[in-house]
Structure 1
């Protein structure tokens, strides 16, 4: 399957300090007419894989549109001269854009990825279950199955039918994080899977707010 993606990066006259949720908030407030930007239709939340996702990658505001989300970003990417993130306003003097057709789906080769931003994997129920598991092997298997489930859910939402078994291995570490002032568990690290995922697309929960962005690694990176 081919995904059409539009990646937008923003540069200012000074270093930008902000979060992915603040970046999402700016676009959602500025362009309320586009449900793809904020996942709301009137007062109803749209439960689907977000087709516009917001990230802070190495402190660079990054917005990624997928398919219809890419079409929306094409329309509005330059319709503002400044952005407000939290209490700070930044003049935008540089916009990087990349429009691509990218392969997505089952691969005949094992691909190596890393999480460029923390992966929010566990629901409240799974969070409790994770802590009841004994030993690294049980926890690793539990998380591996959740990762496969995330890939399946993303595929269904994007209209891709998986016709082969997903094979996956992980090398992840969990940590405490914050989401809406609530303590949550996130994961960082690497994983291997026979699936093609374009760079910086998110897996798991709250991907529109920057969590779970993946980046493909080259085999040379595996020495790291």
Structure 2
């Protein structure tokens, strides 16, 4: 199907999970306004495409996950005059502590691969109402599987990889839904384990607000 480049960059700056949108703003402030790959906005508003720069907390530290063309865009940040910035009201100097580059072969698998998806935001206003109408647990899980499949296909399309056959997903475990707020908007998030017949790279984001730490994917190794 295709090779997908990823790059994890961890800084030496401790960060809380709720500060990730602030980290995003802090890094954007170091770059020119026309660097759309970091802020995922265009002149007309939001760029409705898979985010190629994602802001993460890894091992308690501020981090970036760069995907596809986002890997090349890291050079824009490294060429900034200074990496001194503000995370909210906190003055920091971002120093790179660890870099991990990978080339992952995205391919269909005969044996399903098992993943954990943390802080996943599957529901927007429209599908939340549809989800609420489903009274049975089985029907709700099927609805979530349908959304998850769409999230994976959208991500792959966003990096130029197209699935040649039927993509299958099966949710094998899930936590209760939790209420969170993002930019003052109430949302619901949950963690799931699922099996799928496509191989995906670790630490990429799936679903809504994947650029700021929601929907982080981790492969479960037996």
Structure 2 length normalisation: TM-score? Answer: 0.89
1:88 corresponds to: 90
Please give the secondary structure, in 1, of the residue aligned with 2:197: strand
CA distance in 1, matches of 2:121, 2:37: 21
**Distance in 2 separating the partners of 1:30 and 1:93:** 14
2:201 aligned with 1:198, yes or no? yes
- Say if 2:206 is the partner of 1:211: no
Q: Deviations over 1:65-93 (max 9, x none)?
A: 11211101134247434342111122334
Q: CA deviation at 1:55?
A: 1.3
Distance 1:96 1:33, change over 3 A: farther
Residue in 1 that maps onto 2:30: 30
Shift of 1:162: 0.8
Q: Secondary structure at the match of 1:118?
A: strand
Deviations 1:123-160 (A, max 9, x none): 10111121121121111111011101111111112111
Match of 2:147 in 1: 146
Match of 1:222 in 2: none
CA distance in 2, matches of 1:78, 1:216: 33
Tell me how far apart the structure 2 counterparts of residues 47 and 93 of structure 1 sit (CA, whole Å).
Answer: 31
How far did 1:58 drift? 3.9
User: What residue in structure 2 maps to residue 50 of structure 1?
Assistant: 51
1:111 matched residue in structure 2: 113
Contact 1:28 1:37 in 2 (8 A): yes
After the TM superposition, which parts of structure 1 deviate over 4 Å for at least 4 consecutive aligned residues? none
Contact between 1:53 and 1:207, CA under 8 Å: does it hold in 2?
yes
Tell me the secondary structure at the aligned position of residue 19 of structure 1.
helix
State the distance in 1 between where 2:178 and 2:15 align: 25
Instruction: Check the 8 A contact 1:16/1:90 in 2, yes or no.
Output: no
Q: Which residue of 2 aligns with 1:61?
A: 62
- Retained in 1: the 8 A contact 2:208–2:214? yes
Match of 1:183 among 178, 186, 190: 186
TM value normalised by structure 1: 0.89
1:99 corresponding residue in structure 2: 101
Paired residue secondary structure (1:107) = strand
Q: Partners in 2 of 1:26 and 1:106 — Cα distance? A: 38
Q: CA RMSD for the aligned pairs?
A: 1.8
Gaps of 5+ in 2: none
Residues of 2 paired with 1:176 and 1:110: CA distance?
31
Higher mean alpha-carbon deviation, 188-197 vs 143-152, is at 188-197
Contact persistence 1:6–1:74 (CA under 8 A)? no
SS at match of 1:200: coil
